[in-house]
């Protein structure tokens, strides 16, 4: 039965896909009237229920009229500001359960009803003057990922609005040791973009019982185009969550930090509990041959981005967040479930708003999607999606080992040629090494026999070692190198992040690694309590040397263009990996930088072993930027060199002086 309906639905859709009506126009408010517009090619009847408030069950039912484009419309005279609505469709002899429309922009507590509001009331003071921080060079990007609760809930954070959007509007916050916290900490660290775990309305948290300290990352979408009420100071007020989300973004922009939104269009919290499933059953999801829902997400369903209206929905949704909330980038959860054409069209649509808006995601799926593999936005096909990035599990696994075992990686003492080669691949930004090897101008001498280049340009390669998923860095090192002492583990931490920040790819850091955070060995903390997930701000004093190292390595990256050349052509021209016989030692050289950098060349030496390694370097005068687990962007020393010793589990960075 499901398959029959699906075929009918696809046929009916041919008419509607040529129409330019926007899904975003679902509810258009003015003081004199409110117009409604819902898409459904299969409904036999549709109506919108209008409620006086969020609690009463009594509703005025307005019959919608179907147009030739499969949009159902009605206009209600009068001022409906402050009222609520749901939509229902009648098909196969049954009325669907009431649901907010698929493009609700304001909702009741827990998102069961859409709210009719004047969006102008949700605009914070000065919003019309809010601007994206300048981003003259995309290679400047350093992303910092966090969850709003993780970042602010610690009693030692010095933040008043803990766990709320407003937490990231507070200026001048400090720890009990007098060190900067919150937004000032981010500025001090030197990151350019803050990636926030899902901040849209999601289903796993009861917004009426927030005092019970429920926790969830939020990868369970309910209303895609509304901020999550649990992060507002009053989830019962539809305007409050919108205004406070904008205040947070505005404050970060004033601090010079762009905001990336983690979006989860690949699945919904469930099917029939969501507007996509209630209003137009089956259409927005992929189905198995037996009519059951496909499950590439591992969450019970997967959306069908290849369907024209699902594609239009995703495009309109990201553009809405970019325009209405001034969001500066989008990280796509399980991007490999979506088709490549949708991702290309999203990139094109955002370019019309601002080409500096970032687009990247996870180039994989949790399980096998119900769609031809060669058409999916998998990591292997990133080169087919210009200016769309993908996370590199290649550099992650090379540095600290796979999350699916407890083996060491290069940075934690694995003496392995394959890890070395994979790390070189990541340092060069994931570009096609075969073309590098064939190039007459190439001096890259490390063969990458088992890795195919998948990034068309190095900034499509998101260089990272940890994110919210799996172990944080301290815990990952603990499970693989548990017999090492803490000073050694700190050196491993520094070495791993140095490789990330020296990579030609886009740099990505998981929040709290600079403070040596731990989740007490829990590798999937999506619903663990705050006691597991919070960033321990007292560690900023305890591990002050680690924080200073991160800050200086970020500064070194920013001040040396040779570490972020920005194009595959330049990487092939300037990057070389002189061969070494030691699988735990890498020489990474960026040469002939006259006119590009303020150094003639840069040499990054990475020692992933427990032994000191002495290596020759081209004879010259050098500024030592990092050495023996210390770093200083202005230089630790200046001296002539023709060889240097690299301490165990550490990086040495040399800038050859003009």
DSSP E strand boundaries for 551-649: 575-576, 585-590, 601-607, 613-627, 630-631, 637-646
Tell me the backbone φ, ψ of residue 200, rounded to 5 degrees.
-80, 170
The Cα angle at residue 179 between residues 176 and 180, in degrees rounded to 5:
115
The half-sphere exposure of 474 on its side-chain side, counting CA atoms within 13 A, is 20
Nearest one of 376, 319, 378 to 349, comparing CA atoms: 319
How far apart are alpha carbons 63 and 87 in whole angstroms?
10
How far apart are alpha carbons 172 and 255 in whole angstroms?
12
Nearest one of 359, 331, 334 to 345, comparing CA atoms: 359
Q: Which residue has the tokens 């919070």?
A: 534
- Cα 80 from chain centre: 37
Contact 114, 123 (CB under 8 A): no
How far apart are alpha carbons 446 and 421 in whole angstroms?
7
Nearest one of 565, 563, 561 to 573, comparing CA atoms: 565
For the record, the structure tokens of 360 come out as: 């990247």
How far apart are alpha carbons 210 and 232 in whole angstroms?
11
- Cα 36 from chain centre: 33
3 state DSSP class of 97 = coil
- Active-site annotation holder among 24, 150, 328, 362: 362
How far apart are alpha carbons 225 and 316 in whole angstroms?
10
| Exposure class string for 166-188: b at 16+ Cβ within 10 A, else e | bbbbbeebbbeeebbbbbbbbee
Diameter over CA atoms, the chain: 85
Active site residue 316: no
Fill in the DSSP letter of residue 124: P
Q: Which residues pair with 65 in a beta bridge?
A: 73
How far apart are alpha carbons 413 and 401 in whole angstroms?
10
Contact 400, 412 (CB under 8 A): yes
Query: Judging by DSSP bridges, how do beta strands 506-510 and 575-576 pair with one another?
Result: unpaired
Tell me the backbone φ, ψ of residue 474, rounded to 5 degrees.
-60, -45
How far apart are alpha carbons 522 and 535 in whole angstroms?
14
Q: Please count the other Cβ atoms lying within 10 Å of the Cβ belonging to residue 444.
A: 19
How far apart are alpha carbons 111 and 226 in whole angstroms?
9
| Exposure class string for 264-279: b at 16+ Cβ within 10 A, else e | bbbbbbebeebbbbbb
- Active-site annotation holder among 262, 333, 339, 656: 333
For the record, the structure tokens of 618 come out as: 């081209």
Fill in the DSSP letter of residue 277: H
Contact 52, 60 (CB under 8 A): no
The half-sphere exposure of 130 on its side-chain side, counting CA atoms within 13 A, is 25
Element containing residue 146 per DSSP (H, E): strand 142-146
3 state DSSP class of 443 = coil
Active site residue 362: yes
Fill in the DSSP letter of residue 597: B
Residues recognised as catalytic:
333, 362
């Amino acid at each position: 039965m499901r398959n029959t309906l699906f075929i009918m639905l696809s046929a009916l859709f041919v008419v509607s896909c040529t129409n330019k009506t926007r899904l975003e126009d679902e509810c258009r408010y003015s003081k004199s009237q409110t117009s409604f517009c819902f898409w459904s090619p299969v409904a036999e009847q549709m109506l919108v229920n209008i409620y006086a408030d969020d609690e009463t069950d009594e509703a005025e039912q307005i019959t919608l009229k179907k147009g030739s484009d499969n949009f159902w419309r009605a206009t209600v005279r009068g001022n409906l500001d402050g009222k609520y609505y749901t939509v229902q469709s009648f098909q196969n002899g049954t009325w669907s359960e009431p649901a907010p429309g698929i493009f609700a922009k304001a909702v009741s507590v827990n998102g069961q009803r859409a709210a009719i509001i004047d969006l102008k009331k949700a605009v914070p003071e000065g919003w019309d003057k809010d601007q994206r921080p300048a981003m003259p060079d995309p290679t400047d990007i350093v992303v910092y990922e966090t969850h709003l609760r993780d970042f602010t809930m610690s009693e030692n954070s010095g933040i008043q609005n803990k766990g709320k959007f407003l937490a990231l509007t507070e200026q001048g916050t400090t720890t009990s040791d007098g060190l900067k916290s919150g937004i000032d900490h981010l500025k001090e660290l030197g990151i350019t973009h803050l990636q926030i775990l899902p901040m849209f309305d999601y289903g796993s948290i009861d917004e009426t019982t927030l005092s019970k300290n429920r926790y969830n990352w939020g990868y369970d979408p309910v209303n895609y185009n509304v901020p999550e009420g649990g992060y507002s100071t009053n989830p019962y007020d539809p305007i409050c969550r919108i205004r406070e989300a904008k205040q947070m973004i505005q404050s970060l922009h004033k601090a010079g930090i762009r905001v990336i939104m983690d979006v989860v269009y690949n699945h919904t919290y469930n099917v029939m509990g969501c507007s996509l499933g209630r209003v137009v059953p089956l259409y927005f999801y992929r189905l198995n041959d037996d009519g059951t829902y496909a499950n590439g997400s591992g969450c019970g369903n997967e959306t069908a981005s290849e369907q024209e209206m699902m594609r239009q929905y995703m495009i309109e949704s990201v553009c809405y967040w970019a325009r209405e909330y001034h969001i500066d980038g989008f990280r796509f959860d399980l991007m490999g479930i979506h088709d490549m054409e949708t991702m290309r069209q999203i990139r094109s649509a955002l370019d019309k708003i601002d080409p500096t808006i970032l687009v990247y995601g996870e180039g994989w799926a949790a399980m096998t999607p119900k769609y031809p593999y060669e058409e999916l936005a998998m990591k292997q096909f990133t080169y087919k999606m210009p200016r769309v990035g993908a996370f590199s599990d290649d550099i992650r696994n090379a540095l600290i080992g796979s999350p699916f075992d407890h083996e060491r990686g290069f940075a934690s003492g694995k003496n392995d040629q394959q890890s070395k080669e994979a790390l070189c691949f990541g340092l060069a930004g994931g570009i096609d090494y075969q073309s590098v090897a064939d190039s007459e101008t190439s001096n890259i001498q490390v063969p990458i026999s088992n890795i195919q280049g998948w990034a068309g340009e190095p900034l499509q390669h998101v260089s990272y070692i940890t994110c919210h998923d799996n172990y944080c860095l301290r815990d990952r090192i603990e499970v693989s190198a548990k017999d090492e002492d803490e000073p050694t583990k700190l050196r491993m931490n520094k070495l791993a992040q140095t490789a990330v920040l020296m990579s030609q790819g886009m740099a990505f850091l998981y929040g709290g690694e600079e403070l040596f955070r731990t989740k007490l060995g829990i590798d999937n903390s999506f619903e663990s309590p705050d006691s597991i997930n919070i960033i321990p701000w007292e560690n900023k004093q305890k591990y002050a040397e680690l924080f200073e190292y991160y800050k200086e390595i970020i500064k070194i990256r920013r001040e040396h263009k040779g570490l972020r050349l920005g194009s595959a052509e330049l990487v092939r021209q300037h990057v070389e990996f002189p061969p070494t016989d030691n699988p735990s030692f890498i020489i990474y050289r960026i040469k002939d930088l006259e006119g590009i950098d303020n150094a003639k060349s840069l040499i990054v030496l990475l020692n992933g072993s427990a032994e000191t390694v002495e290596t020759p370097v081209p004879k010259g005068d050098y500024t030592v930027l990092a050495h023996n687990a210390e770093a200083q962007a202005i230089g630790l020393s200046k001296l002539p060199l023709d060889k240097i010793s690299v301490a165990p589990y550490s990086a040495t960075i040399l800038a050859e002086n003009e």
